[in-house]
Amino acid sequence: MKYRREIDGLRALAVFPVVLFHAGFKAFEGGFVGVDVFFVLSGYLITSIIFEDMDKENFSIIKFYERRARRILPALFFVILCCLPFAWLWLLPIHLKDFSQSLVAVSTFSSNILFWKETGYFGVEAELKPLLHTWSLSLEEQYYLLFPPFLMALFKLRKQWMWGILTMIAIVSLIVAQWGAYNVPSGAFYFLPARGWELAIGALIAFYFSYKRTKIDTILSCKITSELLGLLGLLLICYSVIKFDKFTPFPSLYTLIPTLGTALIIVFSTPSNIVGRLLGAKPMVGIGLISYSIYLWHQPLFAFARHRSLTEPSAAFLIILSFLSVGLAYFSWRFVETPFRNKQIISSKKVFSFAGVGSVLFAMIGLTGHISNGYNNRLNNNGILLADISKKVIINYGLNQDCIHKFTLSPNCRTSDEPEILVWGDSYAMHLIQGILASNPSAKIIQMTKSACGPFFEVAPISTRYPASSAKECLSFNSSIHTWLKTHKTIKYVVLSSPFGQYLEASQVIINDHLYEANQELVTKQFIATINQLKNLGLVPIVFSPTPQNGENIGECLAKAQFYSEDLNACNFRREAVNKTSDEVFQFLKNISKNSKVIFMDEGICEEGLCKVSSDYTFIYRDSGHLSHEGSALLGKKMNFYSLIVGNKRSSW
């Protein structure tokens, strides 16, 4: 295959936005599309190599996998090896266990499956995963396992069918992606069926270059056309990087913008036009050559920096780390990647032995870390067992984990057969339970909570984070509660709680099976309607606000502070430092307080403008906003949750 400098330059164009996106720079919120550029490039390059070998009748599946192993595994294993000591020194048991699981997943080409099960790509937790970026490598490795045998079979049968079949695969995969982006967004993001069309675009370009060259040459012969289409491709990629963000449904029809942009550059950029000369410039080519190693290094650097710092590292420090990833990339490219690609230095047998031994070794280390719960029997500098620190930030399910998935009347989800207080909502309702019981151990409570489902009758949000399928489940759950309340006469008080931000930030809401554009006025109206329905049933609604939040993972900050034997007060924050969403929610609840009693949690957390997130080594928060088990009990006693619920005292803002 003829070398094209502009292809290496395109790699550089792809990797920079990814690095800056993971660094957290707002101007590059769409930088994740760099991975989609790589997918199209991979489809083009891999298919071109396969076609070239097949035409010469010397294609070997074993040699193909050997080339892929030489290209991918040495640098990957080297980076993982360098991560191990930092993981041991800086990761809390919960994160070290998570890291250990990712070692097993990387070794078995299943990182995308693991991260799909654990968390979304755009969540705060994702920033703390050193090997998060390996999901794309696993997806490509799965592609390498399936695609070459498929092409071999097709090549032998009917080569002329190839264009039509590849096009059909791309269309079906794009349909899956579009559906998945709105119904199962995390699955669509991580899995090959919704990503295959991006690789197929590259494969179609390779087919055209290999077997329809005369048609391509006719188009390329018009310099103005190739110039304009190449520039259009560059603009499409740049537009995606600047305009897309975590709320953009992805992958979906939106993804056509960067992928078609990539296709236009591959087809129309040449050394004789502007885009070709730009991408073929020495600095771009140089970065492109080490782009794979840059991709490997940047995420561990950012993740470990975030783990070691109590708060988000400064922009200046993240820029330094970005440059460091380039320096380390050059080192690993020069002394790891390049030697392993040389068959005179490393034989085929050694490559496969290296791949096998490395995979088994990392899988064994990972399994050990998983079984030992992240080696939680370690001690910090003050002799505190790390397992005890980890317990302070475990998920707070309220009464029992049985109470979080669906409507249930399980005895595990109540403290009395004749409950007087219904706690209704999502995880922000769950975390109130210990506080209510701490203020009155004999409180008669029943818990009806569902993760990510707020206490609204007949209303549910729809967004990239809350797909239509989740909205329907939420509506069904809340409908069951409404029906139950009509017949259950012992309930006197209904405690409602949620972060509420998912409703205020949603793109749409479902109301009585109809879609509406979401806005604060509409959400306020519907929540007041829910409150009035409760009043019509003779019940007293009491709304608990979410905790004040500053955008940081406060529980993580507290755990790390104790882990590193630092002052827990470093995690406190000023009331004016709360993030925009938190302010919007408090304003929303201030309006609601005209119709219902509202308990504002900042009254128990913030004093004289300072929000204190711990007390005598008791963590009040377990993450960015949820109360820990101990924190809920402490706050419940301090504010007297029970009296606020059953008494006449009204909390003020």
Specify the pairing of strand 540-544 against strand 606-607.
unpaired
Boundaries of every domain in the chain: 5-371, 401-646
The pLDDT, as a whole number, for residue 92 is 92
Rounded (to 5) percent helix, strand, coil in the chain: 65, 10, 30
Separation between Cα atoms, residue 18 and residue 635, nearest integer Å: 41
The pLDDT, as a whole number, for residue 489 is 87
The pLDDT, as a whole number, for residue 549 is 92
Residue 545 CB burial class (10 angstroms; 0-12, 13-18, ≥19): buried
Q: Which residues of the chain register pLDDT less than 50?
A: 122, 649-653
Long-range pairs for 276-283: beta carbons < 8 A, 24 or more residues apart: 276/6, 276/230, 278/9, 278/234, 279/5, 279/6, 279/7, 279/8, 279/9, 279/10, 279/12, 279/13, 280/5, 280/6, 280/9, 281/9, 283/12
Which residue, 158, 183, 177, is CA-closest to 36?
A: 177
User: For the domain 401-646, what is the CATH code?
Assistant: 3.40.50.1110
Classify each residue of 128-152 as buried b or exposed e, where b means 16 or more C-beta atoms within 10 Å of its C-beta. bbbbbbbbbbbbbbbbbeebbeebe
Which residue, 441, 35, 32, is CA-closest to 241?
A: 32
Which residue, 135, 233, 125, 248, is CA-closest to 190?
A: 135
Fill in the amino acid letter for 437. L
Q: In this predicted model, what pLDDT tens digit does every residue of 622-637 receive, in sequence order?
A: 999 999 999 999 999 9
Fill in the amino acid letter for 111. S
Separation between Cα atoms, residue 149 and residue 165, nearest integer Å: 15
